[in-house]
Structure formats: structure tokens, C-alpha cells
Amino acid sequence: MIEVDDKRNCTGCTACKSICPRDAITMSSDDEGFLYPQLNHELCINCGLCDRVCPLPQRDKQDNACSSLESYVAHYNNNDDIWYESSSGGVFTAITDFILESDGIVYGAAYNKEWEVEHCSSSNKTDAIKFRGSKYVQSKLNDTFREIKNILLSGQLVLFSGTPCQVAGLKSYLKKDYLNLMTVDLLCHCVPSPRLFKDYINYIQKKYKKRISKINMKDKTLGWNSFQTPRIYFEDGTSIFNVEDTKLWETIFYSHIAVRPSCYSCRFSNLDRVGDITIGDYWGVENFHPDYYVPNGASIVLINSRKGQEAFKCFSKYLRYEITDPIKGLPSSLVYAVSPHLKRSQFWLDYEVMSFTQICKKYFGLGLLNDIKRRLPALKSLLKIIIRK
């Protein structure tokens, strides 16, 4: 029976929970807000299925050779709005359009009413807009794997997209390859804590005394290549952008201090991809394909299976694309896992006793700009005195 003794060895993929014939496993949150399997010993019959389904030990044995059959630099150029609203080149929407036009069903990550990120399904293009754009926090999978298996058995086409560890979990749970399943994995370097994200949402709504109506973690007003660009919309029609409070989540994300422990020893940060198709940001595209460097962003697309190749023939009609060499400008998430943050343990100790604002001041420089601005007149006077002397 599954026991998580080292948190680096559990991505929270839910494969063990989903396979248990006695429903003896639930996913429960730890103090950091990440979900882990929890066993009810009274229900367990010791069948061992949960141990065998975990994809990580298997992954550790693989040689991780490059799986990519083809690779492209691409963006969704038929529709500027879609492209603008997507995190990079909008390739994901091109794939969903193809699946939905083939009467398939799409699974991806979306915000729920409480602004938690969770996996859910959609069978029409209007509803599938909820998947568009990266949500930089770990998504809850709920009962997605069992639902998908039932749909696959009915013969309907299914697209599942997620982080590579989620795709690996689904494939391991399903045990065999289904012709009617298409999987898309994202280039991924970490997922931050859902607990922190919840506190961030509360902080914003309380400070601005308004309810959030939409979050776009990659607003392209300043271009795709610039960092720190989330935009938060409120129910009264206003929005905040390019201010300290919107930059804050991006700072938290890239600090790597509050990410899932398994991300520090990620088994998927290499060229051995788990999905039929891999999509990511094509950072550095201007160096290799200057024509594709446009303010709205470009994606890198790796095609990893025959199924992926067949699908690409269909959805590439929405794209402007060119063959590329994935080795050119290899994204770091294809090479190594993020390094553990040296202050991570202290951060979580502090988190239990400090307010969210205090935490952000201590670890993410919140208020630093305001402090500098406030002190600027005094500093100027001091400087004048020094110069006169």
C-alpha cells in the first residue's frame, strides 16, 4: 500500500487514488496546501495496485532518451484574439479546436468559482476558453482519471492536457494506450502552492475591496517577452496591471520557494516526453527564427508519437509554423529541475506565524518600492548635504 515517506517522490498525480478498488485513498492537503494520498487502513485489502501504478519509480528506471519525432516553432495566426489571450503561441487552442470539431471532449486546468485551479472538461469551444492561458499554481485533478476512462470506453475522443507528471499519472492509471486518447504535456518547471495562491487572492480582494472577475497571468500589453505581467480584472470593470500587487504572484512563482517538493527532483525535465504532443514557450525564438518573433509570442511544439503526428496534420491548418530543432535554445525545463530554495524550510515556519503581507515583505520585497519612494526626499536632502561638503 502506498506510503509517501519522502515528499519529493509524490507529484500528487492521483493515479493511486483512482486505481484503488476500495476507495481507501483520498487526496488530502498538507500544511503547504499540496495534495498527497492518504490511506484508510480499515478499507485497504493490501492488493498492491496503488504501489504498482505510481509512475515515478518506473520513470526513474528509464534512460530518458529524446522522444521527439518532429518539432516546430509555431503560433496561432488565424485568430489574433486567441493568440493574444494565450500564454505563448496559442497552440493549445488549435489542438482543442481540432478535438472539439471531431466531437471530442477536452480536459484541462481552469479556475473554479473560489479561484482554485482544477481540472475539468469541456465539449464546446465557448466553454473551452476557460482552459486558455497558464495558471501558475498546482491544479487539483479530482476524479478526472476515472471520468476519462469511462469516456474512452464509450469510444469518444478525449484530449487531456496538463503538466507532464499529470499526464504520466493518467497514462499509468489507464495501463494501456487508447487510440481515442490524445495527451498534451506542457513544458513545466514547477507548480506553486495552492494555499499561497488562495491567500494571494484573499489579499487582493481585501486590499482593493472588490471581487475578482478574471485573472490573466500572461497579459501581453507590454509584449510576451516581458516578465511580471499578470492582469487582474474586477467585477466593477476595472483592472490592475504592472503594479506591485500583480507582479507579486510572478515573483512568488519565479522565486521557487513555495513549489511542490517533487518539482525540485522533477523526473520530467528532459527530452523524454510523456504526452503525444508537448507545448511550451519558445524563449529565444528571435535568435533562431526571427520571423516568428512577434509581440504576441511563439510556442515550441514537440511531436512525440504517431498519434501526435496525425493530429498535427489536422490542427496545423490553424497555425503558422516552421520546423525547428528542439536542441536550439533548449528551454531549461527540458534540461534540469529547479534547485531547492535555501530558505524554503524557514519560509514555511514563518508562514504559520506571520500574516501574508508580512511574508511578502520579508521574502518577496513587497512594499520595497513604496519604501524607497517614501524615503527618496530624505535621501535627496542627505545627498545634497554630502555633495556640499
Ligand X SMILES: Cc1cc2nc3c(=O)[nH]c(=O)nc-3n(C[C@H](O)[C@H](O)[C@H](O)COP(=O)(O)OP(=O)(O)OC[C@H]3O[C@@H](n4cnc5c(N)ncnc54)[C@H](O)[C@@H]3O)c2cc1C
Binding site for ligand SF4 (CB under 6 A): 1-2, 4, 10-16, 19-20, 22, 24-25, 37, 39, 44-50, 53-54, 56, 163-165, 169, 188-191, 260, 262-263, 266, 268
Residues 6+ apart with CB under 8 A from 86: 76, 92, 93, 132, 133, 297
Q: Can residue 18 be called a binding residue for ligand X (CB under 6 A)? A: no
- Residue placing its CB nearer to ligand SF4 in the complex, 120 or 259: 259
- Residue placing its CB nearer to ligand SF4 in the complex, 262 or 296: 262
227 contacts 254 by C-beta, under 8 angstroms: yes
Instruction: Rule CB under 6 A: choose which of 11, 71, 161, 304 binds ligand X.
Output: 161
Instruction: Rule CB under 6 A: choose which of 55, 164, 169, 280 binds ligand X.
Output: 280
Owner of C-alpha cell 486546468: 109
Q: Can residue 333 be called a binding residue for ligand X (CB under 6 A)? A: yes
Residue 230 contact, options ligand X, ligand SF4, none, Cβ 5-8 Å cut-off depending on partner type? none
- Angle, in degrees to the nearest 10, between helices 356-364 and 194-208: 110
Residue 134 contact, options ligand SF4, ligand X, none, Cβ 5-8 Å cut-off depending on partner type? ligand X
7 contacts 31 by C-beta, under 8 angstroms: no
Q: Can residue 231 be called a binding residue for ligand X (CB under 6 A)? A: no
- Residue placing its CB nearer to ligand X in the complex, 172 or 299: 299
Q: How far is the CB of 332 from ligand X (least distance, A)?
A: 7
Site for ligand X in 104-123 (CB under 6 A): 108-109, 117
| Distance, CA of 45 to CA of 159 (rounded, Å) | 33
| Distance, CA of 7 to CA of 56 (rounded, Å) | 12
Q: How far is the CB of 165 from ligand SF4 (least distance, A)?
A: 3
Q: Can residue 220 be called a binding residue for ligand X (CB under 6 A)? A: no
Q: How far is the CB of 382 from ligand X (least distance, A)?
A: 43
Query: Considering only CA atoms, which of 336, 315, 304, 256 is closest in space to residue 70?
Result: 304
Write down how long the chain is: 389
Q: Can residue 191 be called a binding residue for ligand X (CB under 6 A)? A: yes
Owner of C-alpha cell 518506473: 58
**Residue 252 φ then ψ, to 5°:** -60, -45
Number of other residues whose CB lies within 10 A of the CB of residue 373: 9
Instruction: Rule CB under 6 A: choose which of 12, 37, 162, 275 binds ligand X.
Output: 162
Q: Can residue 331 be called a binding residue for ligand X (CB under 6 A)? A: yes
| Distance, CA of 269 to CA of 151 (rounded, Å) | 30
| Distance, CA of 41 to CA of 100 (rounded, Å) | 42
Q: How far is the CB of 187 from ligand SF4 (least distance, A)?
A: 9
**Residue 78 φ then ψ, to 5°:** -75, -25
Q: Can residue 189 be called a binding residue for ligand X (CB under 6 A)? A: yes
